[in-house]
Structures are given as structure tokens and as C-alpha cells.
Amino acid sequence: MLQEAEKRYAQIEKLALALVITARKLRPYFQSHKIIVLTNYTLGLIMTRPDASGRLVKWAVEMGEYDIEYQSKTTIKAQVLADFVVEFTGERIPQTKGGWLLHVDGSSNANNGGAGILLQGPDEVEIEVAARLSFAATNNEAEYEALILGLQLALEAGAKELSVCTDSQLVAMQVEGAYETKERTMMQYLAKVKEQMTRFDKCTVQQIPRDENERVDALSKFGAMIAGVKSRNVTIMVKERSAIEELSKVQVVQEDRSWKAELIRYLRESILQEDPIAAKRIKFKATRFTMIGDELYKRTINGPLLKCLDEKGAAYVLRENS
């Protein structure tokens, strides 16, 4: 039976708890075999999400010891697992619709701008991002930057059906084709958005009143107004270039031999070493880290994400703070 405090857990946390307790009871089997978890819920994403709560981080580290793969349960011919986990779930977990909701907002000043993103998915998934635009941008350009960044975040989260809300009438009408786009910069932004939208099974954009977009409005300003955001696990990002800016130089990419390389390859592409012991070590270590865009971050219990630096980056930070 669930303890009194556990009864107040979110439904997805109860499901994760059921898996943890199952692993503890069947530890020898979990250690000896690859475990496939069949579920219609985004359990794998929940336990590795950037803003996971302290208990989810703790459980993710504990589960990192085992070789667990999460798969979608397309059909149910037998309910063998149901009888086993019912003792721990407490109450029935409702079926989710699977759609994602994205709120975006942009703001600008004389020298730079900001973008606020709120991505909400099934099973209480919620990701907030405040991004600083380190380049001059008009307010409309900042709105597009926020939309493009939000669409990319939704793609990385695995969203297939997405509803986008923005308080920018210009952006919403241009994307829907109700407004004609003549300015070259706006045409480039619109083309970028259209390309991203084709990568979803379904994606719609609608305008909403500004007072219904207050959370991301606070995130886009993220200075004095960020105190109004409830979540304390807000990811702060810095964009150095516009989303439509083309690099004029050919970049020579060298193989990353830093300590981060193996973690990044596993988190991004699920690539592991052939040595089973080394592979297991990386999988266990990866439970403490997450990827935000192209950057590696370490999760802390009930604290902010810590950006991981290589030797060059660490040396720069030390110089700046000395």
C-alpha cells in the first residue's frame, strides 16, 4: 500500500515509484537481464527531464544501474503487469491524449532580446526556458526566435502533435497565411518556421490574448519579472546568432576527446562502447546528466542545472571571475 505522503504524488510519479519498487523486489532479475518496460506513458522522458523533481532524479539514478528500455505498448492482449503493480499505483492512471502545447513570447530592447518558452506534454511534462538573444532584434524578430526555439525544443522532446500559442498577431497570421510577408527578414523566419512545422504529424499556430501568455512573457523578460515564475528549475540559454544567420566560414570539426564525449554520444545517439562494463558505466553516469540543445548539463537534486565545460571553457570562466 502507498504511504500517506506517496498518495499525494502526481500520477506519473506513482507509476515511476511502481517501477522502482518492482526493481527492488526483483533486483537479481533486473541485474541479470535486459528489462523492457511496455507503457503508453512517457516514463523514460519523465525520469530524465531537465526539470525533474528531487525524487525523480533519485529514482533515475537508482534505475541507471539496470539495462532498461522503454517501449510503447500498442496493444494489450494480457494484463499480466497490472496485477503486479496495482499494489503500488494506488489509483488508476488516466489515459493521456498525447498532444503537446507550446506557449512562446519574445521581447526586445536596443541591444538584445529575450525569448520565453513553455512546453507542456502528456503526463504532466512541463519545460520552461528563458533564452537571451545576444544580438539586436526587433520585437517581431524576437517573437519568431521564440517560436523557432520552441518548435526545436518540442521536436527534441519527441512531440508529434503540437498546438502553438503566441500573443503576436503578426506571427500567427503570417504562419497561417492570412498576412502577406514582404520583408526579406520576415520571409526567412517564416520559411524556417514552415520547415520545422512539416516535421510534426500535426502542428497549428494560434494567437491568444496577452494576459493568457503571462508566464512566457515573464520568461522572455527574465530579468526583474522572472521572480514571477513559479518554477525554480528554469533553464537559462544564450543564443549568439540569429536562427536564420548563415555561417560564412567553413568550420573544421575535430573529434571531441574530452570526458563529455561519451556521455553526449550516448544521450544524443544512444551510442555505447562495445565493452559491456564500460557501456554499463556510461549508462549509469548518464542518469545524472541531460542535453539542452547541444550543451551537456548535470542535474542536481532540488537545484539548478549545471552546465558542463571542457578545459577551454573552464579556463575562460576562471579568467572571467578572477
Residues 294 and 276: their CA atoms lie apart, in Å, by 27
The tens digit of pLDDT for each residue in 165-187 reads 999 999 999 998 888 888 899 99
Q: Left, alpha or beta for 293 (phi > 0: left; psi -120 to 50: alpha)?
A: left
Q: How confident is the model at residue 222 (pLDDT cuts 50, 70, 90)?
A: low
Supply the DSSP string of 52-98, one letter for each residue.
--HHHHHHHHHHTTS-EEEEE----S--HHHHHHHHHH-SPPPPP--
| pTM score, whole prediction | 0.46
Look at 23-37, 62-76, 128-142, 256-270 and tell me which has the smallest mean pLDDT. 62-76
Residue-range domains of the chain with CATH:
6-89 (no CATH), 100-239 (3.30.420.10), 260-320 (no CATH)
Q: How confident is the model at residue 220 (pLDDT cuts 50, 70, 90)?
A: confident
pLDDT of residue 126: 84
**For residue 64, what is its C-alpha cell?**
541507471
pLDDT higher at 285 or 249: 285
Residues 320 and 172: their CA atoms lie apart, in Å, by 41
Res. 134: pLDDT tops 80: no
Q: How confident is the model at residue 127 (pLDDT cuts 50, 70, 90)?
A: confident
The tens digit of pLDDT for each residue in 7-63 reads 777 777 788 888 888 888 888 777 778 888 877 766 776 665 545 556 777 787 787
Residues 233 and 302: their CA atoms lie apart, in Å, by 8
pLDDT of residue 257: 53
Residues 14 and 302: their CA atoms lie apart, in Å, by 19
Residues 227 and 235: their CA atoms lie apart, in Å, by 14
In contact, 164 and 126? CB cutoff 8 Å: no
pLDDT of residue 132: 80
Look at 128-132, 270-274, 276-280, 310-314 and tell me which has the smallest mean pLDDT. 310-314
Q: How confident is the model at residue 250 (pLDDT cuts 50, 70, 90)?
A: very low
